[in-house]
Amino acid sequence: MSKIAMSIYAWGALLVSLGGMAAMLIAPPPSLRTDRDGVAHFTPKVEHPETGQAISVNTLIRHYRGD
């Protein structure tokens, strides 16, 4: 009886894991999406190459793009 229960538990865990991975590939959460420049939604600030201050990646992109 315990072998059957453990088998059911293992198959259930496998199905839940595969289902979760499939859901991430089919409909990723907003935190994994990117904007029009390819920058992820939750991106940490980066160091400005000249001043050393922390700035957003979007500001850096706009600067080098000339916007």
The pTM of this model reads 0.49
Q: Has residue 1 got a pLDDT over 80?
A: yes
pLDDT at res. 41: 78
Gap between the Cα atoms of 19 and 13, Å rounded? 10
Partners of 46 in beta bridges: 55
Question: What pLDDT digit, counting tens, does each position of 6-16 carry?
Answer: 999 999 999 99
Q: Where are the domains of the chain?
A: 1-30, 34-67
